[in-house]
Amino acid sequence: MKVLVIDVGGTHVKILATGETEHRQFESGPGLTAQQMVDGVLAAATGWTFNRVSLGFPGPVLHDRPVAEPHNLGKGWVAFDYKTAFGRATHVINDAAMQALGSYRGGKMLFLGFGTGLGTAMIVDGIVEPMELGHLPYRKATYEDYVGVRGLTRFGKKKWRECVADVIARLSAALEPSDIVLGGGNAKKLDVLPPLCRLGDNANAFIGGFRLWEPEGVKVMARESARHAQAKAAAHAAARAPRQ
């Protein structure tokens, strides 16, 4: 079995296949559609052999399908048929959950991905629970507005670090994890790590994607009901609505 892992982000789409040592990537951005992503992936994967696909999607997922359009990409992701488009068996999982899965060492772990936005997931005794905490209200906007790339650009590195520390403290107090992994491209901009925190690595997303197909690896259990997923989608859509 050879797996192609796809990590879809707000600025780049990164891919890696079983047996390869260097990932490949291309730019994404706010106009990227699902079909454009597939076309870009297949072009970038030229010369690689794979018969399974793991897709990390930046938004809520249920039963291998997105349930809301992505916050930082184009339209058309929810109704898209990924298995048919790739012509191979395909698992779709929240991108933060995929990187969390690749970072997991046991116990109760909180994953926070500081990139274009804020990716969040928890793993408790091997059970993966993707979350959309980045779109919850925080101060005058949302967590993502303060600790995502928009916050870094708007406030500068010093203020951004203060916001990150505050967000980590709040989520740690609420969720009580025994381990906190800070991932995403901007996590390395932190000069001091808060208690219980360790730096992750974007490459862990690929490890998580490979693990999705391992029968003896960490098991991903879909504990979310359709009602729960719909609630997440509604919250996600509300966060995108223009503020009055």
Q: How confident is the model at residue 205 (pLDDT cuts 50, 70, 90)?
A: very high
**Inter-residue contact 110 to 183 (CB < 8 Å):** no
**Can you read off the two tokens belonging to residue 172?**
């740690």
**Can you read off the two tokens belonging to residue 196?**
């219980």
**Inter-residue contact 206 to 183 (CB < 8 Å):** no
Distance between CA atoms of residues 15 and 188, nearest Å: 21
For the segment 85-105, what is each residue's pLDDT rounded down to a tens digit?
A: 999 999 999 999 999 999 999
Architecture label for domain 98-224+230-239: 2-Layer Sandwich (3.30)
**Inter-residue contact 49 to 40 (CB < 8 Å):** no
**Inter-residue contact 156 to 149 (CB < 8 Å):** no
Distance between CA atoms of residues 206 and 39, nearest Å: 20
High-pLDDT (> 70) share of the chain, %: 88
pTM (predicted TM-score): 0.83
Please determine, for residue 238, whether its predicted confidence score (pLDDT) is greater than 90. no
Question: Where do the domains of the chain lie?
Answer: 3-95, 98-224+230-239
Distance between CA atoms of residues 231 and 133, nearest Å: 13
For the domain with range 3-95, which CATH number is right: 3.30.420.40, 3.40.630.30, 3.10.580.10, 3.40.50.300? 3.30.420.40
- 98-224+230-239 and 3-95 share a CATH fold: yes
Q: Is 127 exposed, middle or buried (0-12, 13-18, 19+ CB in 10 A)?
A: middle
For the segment 34-73, what is each residue's pLDDT rounded down to a tens digit?
A: 999 999 999 999 999 999 999 999 988 988 999 999 988 9
Q: How confident is the model at residue 237 (pLDDT cuts 50, 70, 90)?
A: low
Distance between CA atoms of residues 183 and 205, nearest Å: 10
Q: What 8-state DSSP symbol labels residue 51? A: S
Residue-level pLDDT at 218: 42
- Residue 214 CA from chain centroid, whole number: 20
Q: Tally the C-alpha atoms within 13 A of residue 204's C-alpha that lie toward its C-beta.
A: 22
Q: Is 10 exposed, middle or buried (0-12, 13-18, 19+ CB in 10 A)?
A: buried
Comparison of pLDDT for 156 and 10, the residue scoring more? 156
Residue-level pLDDT at 144: 93
**Inter-residue contact 61 to 93 (CB < 8 Å):** yes
What's the mean pLDDT in 124-148?
91
Please determine, for residue 130, whether its predicted confidence score (pLDDT) is greater than 90. no
Residue-level pLDDT at 73: 95
Please determine, for residue 16, whether its predicted confidence score (pLDDT) is greater than 90. yes
What's the mean pLDDT in 24-41?
97
Phi, psi of 93 (to 5 degrees): -140, 150
